[in-house]
Structure 1
Amino acid sequence: MIKGLFEAHLPVSNLEKAKEFYKSLNLELAWEDEDTAFFWIEKEKSWLGLWEGEEVETPYHPSLRHIAFRVDYEFMKDSLNWLEERNINAVPFGKRTSVEPFVRPNQGNASVYFQDPDGNSLEFMCFVDVPPVLKGRQEKFLVEEWEELLR
């Protein structure tokens, strides 16, 4: 029976630069060799492998070169400040122009997106409680708008 995600992998162009970036996200280095580094996402539960090599030239697609880190809702609300403290810029998702965290009621989650130095897509994501009356809504709401809807 599946218990969770053990590992995910991303390509990087410069392992040393990538290691510094992922350390800035407060991830702990689990082990490394000359062209690979693994960081704990949840210690002893799941990790992220970074592989230095030409695969970093693979064009981005949502099914490739993307990782979503699970966070809680309170962190999500302050995620832009947290990223800014680390000199990391949030990026818009898809065709959106705003970088603000947003809620997808139809999926029951909230997200904010950013990138690592190699353009790998990273996301903070959390579950949100969705009242039955809002579960079918397809539009995306900024967190502030979402909280207003819930009042």
Structure 2
Amino acid sequence: MKIAGLYETHIQVRNLEESVNFYTKVLGLRIAYRDPSRPIVFLWVGTGKEFMLGLWQEEANFQPRHFAFRASREDILNYAVDYLRERDLKPYNFLKDGVEKPMVFAWMPALAIYFNDPDGNQLEFIALLEGEGRPELGVMSYEDWLQLS
């Protein structure tokens, strides 16, 4: 048995309708199924049925989570920050240092930018970069990463 990838993940939300609106209208995901017997909605991520996100309403024991959406390097570099700002979302980098620019995780290597959903779940756009990882370099700007090539 070989695992081919991650297909589905679930997160808790405080207000299911607000979260469904955010993930469908703001981020463009599509409703896959709304369970009539429980406060849960499944959303399609990507084209077709590539990946699924489950939203579970949980107010009493809510615990924010983190997950990342795969995106292209070009989209992250050229569109992600404006895309988020246009939707009244605050982009931030891994260091949370006030710089609204994507950063490179040198150990992978991957380019990423973060933002939060209405419940404080930490979301990320991420793109793997070509080349070997350099874990000793930590987290760095994309410009600094390019200087290494």
Q: TM-score, normalised by structure 1?
A: 0.83
* 1:140 aligned onto 2:142: no
SS at match of 1:9: strand
CA distance in 1, matches of 2:60, 2:66: 14
- In structure 2, the residue matched to 1:128 is 129
SS at match of 2:49: coil
8 Å contact 2:93–2:112 — kept in the other structure?
no
Q: Structure 2: 5+ residue runs without aligned partners?
A: none
- In structure 2, the residue matched to 1:41 is 45
Amino acid at match of 1:21: F
Once the two structures are TM-superposed, the CA of residue 106 in structure 1 deviates from its matched residue by: 2.1
8 Å contact 1:113–1:122 — kept in the other structure?
yes
8 Å contact 1:116–1:122 — kept in the other structure?
yes
The equivalences for 1:86-105 within 5 A come to 86-94=87-95, 96-105=97-106
For this pair of structures, how many residues does the alignment match?
Answer: 143
More deviation in 109-118 or 138-147? 138-147
- In structure 2, the residue matched to 1:18 is 19
CA distance in 2, matches of 1:38, 1:30: 5
Change (3 A) 1:119 1:88: same
- In structure 1, the residue matched to 2:5 is 4
Q: Structure 1: 5+ residue runs without aligned partners?
A: none
Aligned Cα root-mean-square deviation (Å): 2.1
SS at match of 1:50: strand
CA distance in 1, matches of 2:34, 2:61: 18
| Identity of matched residues, % | 34
The equivalences for 1:98-117 within 5 A come to 98-117=99-118
